[in-house]
């Protein structure tokens, strides 16, 4: 829990150059690289309603405009509306002789009627004159956009124009062709006209498209514009009757200016997202389909794969001085881990291993050259983190045992301590290190120490059939430690 509330004291450098705490990083098992929310591809996985936890297939969600059909939000305060039931005595139908006898019998017993009510601001659907419904869910009147008809006209008009343009272009090209060649086209020979051919093929005839153009009436400008209402200078303003901007914009189609025109808002669906590595297109996380579940089918988080660094304590950092630093390292994987501390400069540059394996591969590459997308590489933030201090890295390889859930209950720490290792307990290790600060750092500046980790990683992905990949890898990561501020003396 400390991760949620505390500032991020320890930050890792992502492969794209961003600085993130380990809890917001991913680890791609296929590229063996750390990824973050900035350099991966987010995708919509499934739609669901956050209120009734109902799944909705994406095609249905598209048709329903991403709105839940049974849940509503309050148009006034955006709280979720609740359905209330009342016993309504139906109106006496005695005055209506045409209704017949059986309705009269039915009217004797009170009927359950439902309305929507907000428990937060006491808004009800009766306030705006929406009739009560006989069924508990659904059936609420839907409103249509007042401009929908006109917009449809516009759409048809511009579609017709585009079609006409296209036909004219084809016609022009055909004419060009006719001039050059002296062949008789099929239509000339058989007397089949273009309109008939179009009719047979089931295409819209050219007349219909031109009729959409002909029947379109451009907007007519009017001389008179709506004047201010006469009583605006004398009328008292009731602020409770006028909607605020968020209330208006919650329904972009209507944007009601007065409270009496507010309608319940169908609840917007939420999505579960899956994450994908941009480099290898493998999924990094994939949620379970059930909206109630917070688990993942695939969950490649850095927290489960990369050694975790925590600061236990440290001495105040002084310019030009040395101070002690106690770090805790944890191995989250199920395999033993060899770990070394390095200086960030000592990380070897990643070697390029690009050998075209077969002719097909090289052919593919040469094809790719044509549609050169090299300029479409994702932006890499070249951040040069400025560290004020260095961690004096001990020249020793540390071994971290695998994570063992049973060992959690073992209390006694193993004391194979030396001058670096303070204590060791199952997969955790406490280190006593020394931090050397630069001479020229001003007092009061934030003190940041940088250290690189070299760690062995065993890949547990089942290898592809052909390629026998090595299972053990040596990986590197760089960590920035926040050591408070540099003391001034």
List residues bridging with 485 in a β-sheet.
446
Cβ-based nearer residue to another protein, 107 or 270: 270
Q: Show the tokens assigned to 473.
A: 């890898």
Segment 86-94 long-range contacts (CB within 8 Å, at least 24 positions apart): 86/112, 86/113, 86/114, 86/115, 86/132, 87/111, 87/112, 87/113, 88/112, 88/113, 88/132
How much is the CA Rg of the chain, to the nearest whole Å? 35
Return the closest-CA partner of residue 247 out of 57, 78, 50. Answer: 78
Angle between helices 194-201 and 206-214 (to 10 degrees): 100
Cβ-based nearer residue to another protein, 252 or 440: 252
Which residues contact another protein by CB under 8 A?
38, 41-44, 47, 59, 61-63, 65-66, 145, 147-148, 150-152, 154-155, 157-159, 161-163, 165-166, 216-223, 225-228, 232-237, 239, 242, 244-245, 248-249, 252-253, 255, 268-271, 273, 371-379, 381
Report the distance separating Cα 463 and Cα 469, nearest Å.
6
Closest separation between CB of residue 482 and another protein, Å?
13
What residue has token string 């839940």? 68
Closest separation between CB of residue 122 and another protein, Å?
20
CB neighbour class for 354 (10 Å; exposed up to 12, middle 13-18, buried from 19) = exposed
Cβ-based nearer residue to another protein, 223 or 345: 223
Secondary structure of residue 359 in the 3-state scheme: helix
Cβ-based nearer residue to another protein, 19 or 393: 19
Closest separation between CB of residue 330 and another protein, Å?
25
Cβ-based nearer residue to another protein, 82 or 164: 164
- φ, ψ dihedrals at 364, nearest 5°: -60, -40
Question: Which are the contacts of 439, defined by CB distance < 8 A and separation ≥ 6?
Answer: 319, 320
Cβ-based nearer residue to another protein, 271 or 347: 271
Closest separation between CB of residue 378 and another protein, Å?
6
Closest separation between CB of residue 78 and another protein, Å?
13
What residue has token string 């560290």? 387
Angle between helices 148-180 and 206-214 (to 10 degrees): 130
Cβ-based nearer residue to another protein, 112 or 147: 147
Return the closest-CA partner of residue 22 out of 308, 383, 329, 358. Answer: 308
Closest separation between CB of residue 244 and another protein, Å?
6
Closest separation between CB of residue 44 and another protein, Å?
5
Closest separation between CB of residue 423 and another protein, Å?
35
Cβ-based nearer residue to another protein, 38 or 296: 38
- φ, ψ dihedrals at 278, nearest 5°: -70, -30
């Amino acid at each position: 829990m400390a991760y949620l509330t505390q500032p991020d004291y320890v930050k890792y450098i992502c492969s794209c150059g961003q600085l993130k705490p380990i809890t917001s990083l991913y680890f791609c098992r296929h590229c063996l690289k750390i990824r973050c929310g900035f350099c991966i591809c987010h995708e919509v996985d499934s739609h669901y309603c956050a209120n009734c936890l109902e799944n909705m297939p994406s095609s249905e969600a598209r048709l329903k405009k991403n709105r839940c059909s049974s849940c509503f939000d309050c148009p006034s305060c955006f709280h979720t509306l609740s359905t209330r039931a009342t016993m309504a005595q139906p109106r006496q139908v005695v005055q209506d002789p045409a209704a017949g006898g059986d309705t009269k019998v039915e009217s004797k017993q009170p009927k359950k009627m439902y309305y929507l009510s907000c428990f937060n601001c006491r808004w009800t659907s009766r306030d705006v004159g929406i009739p009560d419904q006989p069924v508990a869910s659904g059936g609420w009147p839907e409103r249509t956009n007042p401009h929908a008809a006109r917009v449809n006209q516009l759409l048809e008009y511009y579609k017709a124009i585009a079609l006409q343009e296209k036909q004219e272009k084809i016609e022009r090209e055909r004419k060009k062709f006719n001039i050059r060649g002296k062949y008789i086209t099929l239509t000339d020979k058989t007397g089949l006209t273009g309109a008939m051919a179009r009719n047979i093929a089931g295409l819209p005839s050219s007349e219909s498209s031109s009729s959409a153009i002909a029947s379109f009436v451009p907007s007519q400008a009017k001389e008179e514009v709506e004047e201010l209402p006469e009583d605006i200078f004398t009328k008292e303003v009731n602020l409770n009757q006028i909607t605020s901007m968020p209330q208006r914009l919650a329904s972009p189609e209507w944007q009601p200016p007065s409270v009496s025109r507010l309608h319940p808002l169908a609840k917007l669906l939420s999505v579960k997202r899956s994450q994908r590595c941009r480099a290898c297109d493998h999924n990094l996380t994939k949620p379970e389909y059930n909206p109630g579940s917070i688990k993942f089918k695939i969950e490649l988080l850095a927290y489960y794969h990369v050694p975790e660094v925590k600061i236990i304590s440290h001495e105040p950092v002084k310019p030009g001085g040395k101070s002690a630093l106690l770090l805790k390292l944890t191995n989250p994987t199920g395999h033993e881990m060899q770990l070394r501390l390095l200086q960030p400069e000592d990380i070897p540059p990643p070697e390029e291993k690009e050998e075209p394996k077969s002719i097909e591969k090289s052919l593919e590459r040469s094809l790719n050259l044509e549609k050169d997308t090299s300029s479409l590489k994702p932006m890499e933030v070249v951040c040069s983190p400025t560290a004020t201090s260095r961690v004096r890295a001990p020249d020793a390889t540390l071994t971290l045992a695998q994570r063992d859930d049973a060992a959690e209950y073992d209390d006694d720490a193993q004391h194979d301590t030396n001058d670096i290792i303070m204590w060791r307990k199952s997969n955790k290790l406490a280190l006593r290190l020394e931090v050397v600060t630069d001479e020229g750092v001003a007092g009061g500046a934030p003190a940041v120490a940088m250290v690189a980790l070299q760690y062995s990683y065993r890949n547990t992905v089942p290898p592809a059939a052909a390629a026998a990949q090595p299972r053990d890898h040596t990986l590197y990561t760089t960590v920035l430690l926040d050591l408070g501020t540099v003391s001034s003396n």
